[in-house]
Chain A
Amino acid sequence: MSDATTGKAKKTPPAPLPEFDEETYLRLNPDVLVAVAEGKFRSAREHYEHYGRAEGRLAVALRDLPRDRVIVTARPGGAAEAPHAPAGAVDTIKLSSAGGLFVAGWINDSLDRLDTVELYVAGWSIAFSASGLARVRRPDAETVVGLHLPCALGFWGFVYAGQRLPAGKCNAVIRLKSGVELITIVNIEFLDDLELRGTVLHHLAAAHYPGPASFNAASSISQTIGTQLVDFSQMLTRKVVSAPYVERFHQDGRAPKASVITCLYGKPDFLTLQQALFAGQAGAEDYEFIYVCNSQNLAEALLKEAAIARLVYGLDITLILLGANAGLAAANNLGAAHARAKRLIFMNPDVFPKDAAFASRHLALSEDLPAAQTDIFGAALYYDDGSLMHAGMYFETETMPGFTLGKKEDACLLCLEHYGKGAPPKDVALLRPRAVPAVSGAFISMNRAWFEELEGFSQDYIFGQYEDADLCLRSLEAGRPAWLLSLPLYHLEGAGSVRHKVHEGAAAVNRWLFTQNWLEPVSAALLGPNPAHPALAEAAP
């Protein structure tokens, strides 16, 4: 409806229709009925003469109104209501010392789509584009709005400014495509960088999604958030690994043939358990053990455990303590930098030898087999229940139709699968030594020189996941596929660390990142358990 007070759309009125009927016009045009009642027009006729005729409004009652179909009584758009600001709010803005910025809120933009979320603070401002924001469900907002179907009313975003920004009060503007604005004043909360990363990852994992959660969590950050989070996390990792505390518990004069690097998180007992179960192996003294701890609160307990282990088991231990969680990749790279041997073993804390000959057999394989098979190799891993859990890894894709989030494109993510997960323990085909697309990072044995040539694990992945497959793919690209060798170990998956919501959030980021990095080459020749890549002709069991 045009506003009579704006002075716009003034035209010379044509002669009124002789049969114009006030009552019929008001019935056909309820907005005019309201406007007349509010005193904006003296009569229906006045509205018709000034605006209604030009807008093509029907003034005469239809005789014999057709049944069961809509009759348009005005030209499309001609009688549009003035846009109203829908319900919504910016709830939270959090800022960290290094310039990480997190914003979250909700908006009912089902009719008028979200365009930007703009933040104006004394000294800086930012406009988050709608495409760069993640959209999630907000059941509380759905209740407020009165929606009965799940709908992604929520939004959140993250950017890393890379510099310290002042906090304070923020003028937060939600702008819709129609130009309507919704303005709220929000107090910015100031957080430590690590705390903000945790908050964001927790938010990512804990959010409600209108479809499969793990998939949509990963795809929701694909536009901007993922890249920004990776940059932010890299900065934190660099900070954390720059100041490690290193203590060596060594016997004099030993020259280890292999360095076992284990990243500990959350559970100090696993240092002791590994030492106890490896120490009984013939040839265990040829190994040194490097434990990198990503949990600051475990420092005291680990120093004690390592001191006791030196007394009781007598193996060489190096303890590297970090002030925060630098992630598995950075911890492994740091451990490798402190290693003394030419062979590196990256091993989870919940991995244990399955038979008494592991230590000697591993060295024999490393030394006797051709370099092409030992530059990077994994092992057959078993569950505690006796079944196989890993005989190499391969890649699959998961695709989700785009309509779940109102996007046109279908979303596609890479996923890792294990050969032989849950299989009987002695499946000869699965256990056959062969080149495979990738091996689990729960146990990777590498020629140190090759590890260094590949520049170690990628530290882009947050906390840990996918860096093992990433390393194997880079090795494959460089001409040396990972091998699976006959070396049985137990892997009590997940028992050796603690997992919180933030780790689920990191997993979503890592999955998105791994897909970004590898979807194209994997799709070309590495998909499925029987990939087409010429170096992997024997990969399938």
Chain B
Amino acid sequence: MKVLLIAMYHPELVRGGSQLVAYELFHGLREVPGIEPVLLCSADSNSPAMFKNGACITGFDQRENEFLFLSQDYDCVWQKLPLPGHAEAFAEFLRRIDPDVVHFQHFLAYGIDYLTLTRKVLPRARIVFTAHEFLTICAADGHMLRKTDGSLCEQASQVRCHQCLPALSPEMFFLRERWMKAHLGAVDIFTVPSRFMIDVYARWGLAAEKFLHVPNGLNMPPLPARSSGTGRRNRFGFFGQMVDVKGLPVLLEAVNMLRAEGFEDFTVEINGENINFASPERRREIEAFLAEEEARPVAERRVIFNGGYHHGQIGARMARVDWVVVPSTWWEIFCLVISEAWHFGRPVIASNKGGPAERITDGKDGLLFELGDARALAGTMRRAATETKLWDKLADGITPPTPREAMVQGYLAAYEEAAAKQKLAAE
């Protein structure tokens, strides 16, 4: 069986969760006998050196079955690429590869209409679509986070969407929903990494029975010692992107509150990057905090900024902390950081919504706090740092995260289910 994986970005060009998952799947499928995976990753102005004059699709770094789709002028309003040459090239690529399964791990930088194009070019191919967020539903980056008041959005509608993005009229959102659904109609099976997403998509009008839950799985580096700690469990770590929805300012505010209470027996290590993608306000807030921290005498510093990290460094970074804090202010679809923390035996303190709320059982394998509430986080951190045996209890409660092999098997099952759906539809 030939599987074409369509991914947003190559993880070695632009880091990010969905591209990492797609790449893990690509490598995982290679190890399955009888499966031939082909990977097509988008590249855009983030990677200008990858562009070749006149080419729409090229190879990547002399790697077998890895290709780049060179996207430009992408229309983020309608999520489409207004370049017929690219559509022709994509169609020709589909014909050449002639896959049995076309698995869209994302559509960004290609266009949602490439689903319909795929169906037209390959009428018998199974089309599988993995949603890593809610971009088809929500024009505000797919976060379903209301721009009006920062609250989580439970239900999109043309008026509510217009309130978030007033430059677009309700009529445009009415059309956007129909435009998206017209193309999603080409999909045989949807997969989501967290179950709660199925409810959100079903409320939006997609058929729940076309969804499968396939948790993300990573091929993790070898395990180091469980902890290099001293017995006191007062070291907290933040891992991930420093963009707004990851909620780093909530953690920093919690630090301020703990200090104000006179509690200073803790450290916070920030392991993150991509602050350039944060909003100017949040970026200023974070940088001002870090500058102020840097200006303190060493003995008074509680927050340490370590910068970004690559996959191979994750073990060393995890070894420096006892707890991993996930203060995300959006739904946080799956949160690979939780998987990484669990892999290294670190309990997670996380916001109580979305993927973390689905994965973490409060008091069993981690702690949950009210999303966006810095005071609640400060209280949880103080408890974590002071309550005897809490860390040991939660660390013992951790279930090992889904391995890559399990994710691969989950997707292979989805491909089979897609075939069954096609057969059923034909009958």
Instruction: Determine whether the beta carbon of B174 is less than 8 Å from that of A384.
Output: yes
Q: Smallest distance from the beta carbon of A189 to chain B beta carbons, Å? A: 36
Stretch of A171-179, A227-235, A268-276, A455-463 contacting B (4+ beta carbons < 8 Å): A268-276
Nearest CB in chain A to that of B182: its residue: A276
- Name the contact of B84 in the complex, choosing from A280, A304, A385 (C-beta under 8 A): A304
Cβ contact within 8 Å between B116 and A313? yes
Contact A495–B87 (Cβ < 8 Å) = no
Residues of B within 8 A of A350 (CB): 171
**Max chain B Cβ within 10 angstroms of own Cβ: one of A272, A277, A279, A312:** A312
Whether A495 contacts B169 in the complex (CB less than 8 A), given A272-B78, A352-B178, comes out as: yes
* B185 at the binding interface (Cβ < 8 Å): yes
Q: Are A305 and B82 in contact (CB under 8 A)?
A: yes
Task: Kindly identify which residue among B75, B87, B172 contacts A311, using a CB–CB cutoff of 8 Å.
Answer: B87
User: In the complex, which residues of chain B have a beta carbon less than 8 angstroms from the beta carbon of A312?
Assistant: 87, 113, 116-117, 120
Contact B170 A384 (CB under 8 A): yes
Please indicate the chain B residues that have their CB under 8 angstroms from the CB of A313 in the complex.
116, 120
> Contact flags (1/0) for A253-294 with B, using CB distance below 8 Å?
000000000000000010011001101100000000000000
Measured CB to CB, the nearest residue on chain B to A490 is: B174
| A308 touching B182, Cβ below 8 Å | no
Which residue of B is nearest A280, CB measured?
A: B182
Q: Give complex CA distance A90, B121 in Å.
A: 66
| Residue among A276, A277, A280 with max Cβ neighbours from chain B (10 Å) | A276
Given contacts A280-B185, A312-B120, A352-B178, contact A492 B82 (CB under 8 A): no
Query: In the complex, which residue of chain A has the Cβ closest to the Cβ of B114?
Result: A312
Does A60 sit within 8 A of B, measured CB to CB? no
Partner of A272, one of B80, B158, B171: B80
Max chain B C-beta neighbours (<10 A), residue from A273, A384, A385 = A384
Does B183 belong to the interface (CB within 8 Å)?
yes
CA distance A344 to B82 in the complex (A): 29
Query: Which of A276, A307, A352, A385 makes the CB contact (< 8 A) with B116?
Result: A276
Residues of B close to A384: CB separation below 8 A: 158, 170-171, 174-175
Chain B, range 180-236, C-beta contacts under 8 Å to A: 182-183, 185
Measured in the bound complex, the distance between the Cα atoms of B316 and A418 in whole Å is: 71
Contacts A276-B182, A384-B158 hold; do A311 and B174 have CB atoms under 8 A apart?
A: no
Max chain B Cβ within 10 angstroms of own Cβ: one of A307, A311, A352 = A311
B170 lies within 8 A of A276 (CB): no
**Contact of A311 with B91 at beta-carbon distance under 8 Å, contacts A305-B82, A384-B158 already known:** yes
Tell me the bound Cα distance from A273 to B113 in angstroms: 10
Residues of B within 8 A of A276 (CB): 113, 116, 179, 182-183
Inter-subunit contact A307/B84 (CB<8 Å):
yes
Q: Does A532 contact B (CB under 8 A)?
A: no
Q: How far is the CB of B101 from chain A (nearest CB, A)?
A: 20
- Residue on A with the closest CB to B158? A384
How many Å from the CB of B30 to the closest CB on chain A? 31
A99 CB within 8 Å of chain B: no
**Which residue of chain A is the closest to B169 with respect to CB atoms?**
A495
| Complex interface bits, A289-316 against B, C-beta within 8 A gives 1, otherwise 0 | 0000000000001001101100111100
Q: Which residues 87-135 of B sit at the A interface, judged by CB distance below 8 A?
A: 87-88, 91, 113, 116-117, 120
In the bound complex, CA of A3 to CA of B364 (Å): 112
Complex CA distance for A25 and B120, rounded to whole angstroms: 103
Indicate if the CB atoms of A277 and B179 lie closer than 8 Å.
yes
- Closest residue on chain B to residue A314 by CB atoms: B120
Q: How many A-B residue pairs have CB under 8 A?
A: 64
- Tell which of B78, B120, B171 touches A495, judged by Cβ atoms closer than 8 Å: B171
Kindly supply a per-residue 1/0 record for chain B positions 151-183, scoring 1 wherever the CB is within 8 Å of any chain A CB and 0 otherwise.
Answer: 000000010000000000111101100110011
Given contacts A272-B80, A304-B82, contact A311 B178 (CB under 8 A): no
> Given the complex, which residues of A lie within 8 Å of B178, measured CB to CB?
277, 352
B83 on interface, CB distance cutoff 8 Å: yes
Check if A308 sits within 8 Å of B87, measured CB to CB. yes
Q: How far is the CA of A350 from the CA of B172 in the complex (A)?
A: 10
Q: B78 touches which one: A269, A279, A352 (CB < 8 A)?
A: A269
Which residues in A have their C-beta under 8 angstroms from that of B179?
273, 276-277
Q: Given the complex of chains A and B, what is the CA–CA distance between A308 and B88 in angstroms?
A: 8
Closest CB of chain A to B172's CB: distance in Å?
A: 7
Closest chain A CB from B406 CB (angstroms) = 36
Complex interface: chain B residues within 8 A of A273 (CB): 78, 175, 179
A304 to B185 alpha-carbon distance, docked (Å): 24
Once bound together, how far apart are the Cα atoms of A279 and B174, in whole Å? 18
Chain B nearest Cβ from A493, distance in angstroms:
8
Query: Which residues of A are found within 8 Å of B171, using beta-carbon distances?
Result: 350, 384, 492, 495
- Chain A residues contacting B183 (CB-CB under 8 Å) are 276
Checking A307, A308, A492 against B113 with a beta-carbon cut-off of 8 angstroms, the contacting residue is: A308
Known: A304-B84, A308-B113, A312-B113. A277 touches B182 (CB 8 A): yes
Q: CB distance B175 to A352 under 8 Å? A: yes
Minimal beta-carbon separation of A498 from chain B (angstroms): 12
B117 to chain A, nearest CB (A): 5
CB within 8 Å of B: which of A421-478?
none
Residues of A within 8 A of B185 (CB): 280
Tell me, in angstroms, the Cα distance from A272 to B80 when the chains sit together.
10
Q: Is the CB of A495 within 8 A of B113?
A: no
Instruction: Give the docked Cα–Cα distance between A280 and B91 (Å).
Output: 19
Cβ contact within 8 Å between A311 and B175: no
**Distance of A308 Cα from B120 Cα, bound (Å):** 12
- Bound-state Cα–Cα, A313 to B80, Å: 14
| Chain A, Cβ-Cβ closest to B119 | A312
| Complex alpha-carbon distance, A313 and B171, angstroms | 23
In the assembled complex, how far is the CB of residue A496 from the closest CB belonging to chain B, in whole angstroms? 9
Minimum CB distance partner of B82 in chain A: A304
B255 vs chain A, min Cβ distance (A): 47
Q: Write out, one digit per residue, whether chain B residues 63-96 have a CB within 8 A of any chain A CB (1) or not (0).
A: 0000000000001001010111001100100000
Q: Closest approach, in angstroms, between the C-beta of A421 and any C-beta of chain B? A: 16
B88 CB contacts on chain A under 8 angstroms: 311
Question: Which has the most chain A C-beta neighbours within 10 Å: B83, B116, B169?
Answer: B116
Please indicate the chain A residues that have their CB under 8 angstroms from the CB of B169 in the complex.
495
Q: How far is the CA of A439 from the CA of B63 in the complex (A)?
A: 62
Q: How far is the CB of A510 from chain B (nearest CB, A)?
A: 24
A350 to B175, CA, bound (A): 9
Q: How far is the CB of B335 from chain A (nearest CB, A)?
A: 34
CA A356 to CA B230, docked complex, whole Å:
66
Let me know if A311 and B82 touch, CB within 8 A: no
Alpha-carbon separation in the docked complex, A364 to B158 (Å): 33
A492:B175 contact, CB within 8 angstroms: yes
Given A277-B182, A308-B113, A312-B116, verify A301-B175 contact (CB < 8 Å). Answer: no
The smallest beta-carbon distance between A195 and chain B, in angstroms, is: 29
Cα-based distance from A394 to B317 in the complex (angstroms): 74
Distance in angstroms from B92 CB to nearest chain A CB is: 10
Nearest CB of chain B from residue A322's CB, rounded to whole Å = 21
Minimum Cβ distance to chain B for residue A300 (Å): 10
A308 to B26, CA, bound (A): 29
B158, A308: Cβ atoms under 8 Å?
no
Report the minimal beta-carbon distance from A442 to chain B, rounded to whole angstroms.
14
A311/B78 in contact, CB under 8 A: no
- Closest B residue to A300 by CB, please name it: B82
Residue of A nearest to B121 (CB): A311
Question: CB distance A301 to B174 under 8 Å?
Answer: no
Contact status B83-A304, CB under 8 Å: yes
Question: What residues on A are CB-neighbors of B87 within 8 Å?
Answer: 307-308, 311-312
Using CB atoms, name the residue of chain A closest to B90: A311
Q: Which residues of B contact A301 (CB under 8 A)?
A: 82
Please give 5 more A-B residue pairs, beta carbons under 8 A apart, in addition to A269-B75, A313-B120, A495-B171.
A279-B182, A304-B82, A311-B120, A385-B170, A492-B175
Nearest first, the 7 A-B pairs at minimum CB distance are A307-B84, A384-B174, A492-B171, A495-B171, A312-B117, A276-B182, A384-B171
| 10 A-B pairs with C-beta separation under 8 A | A272-B78, A272-B113, A273-B179, A308-B84, A312-B117, A313-B120, A384-B170, A384-B175, A385-B158, A490-B174
- B residues with a Cβ closer than 8 A to A are 75, 78, 80, 82-84, 87-88, 91, 113, 116-117, 120, 158, 169-172, 174-175, 178-179, 182-183, 185
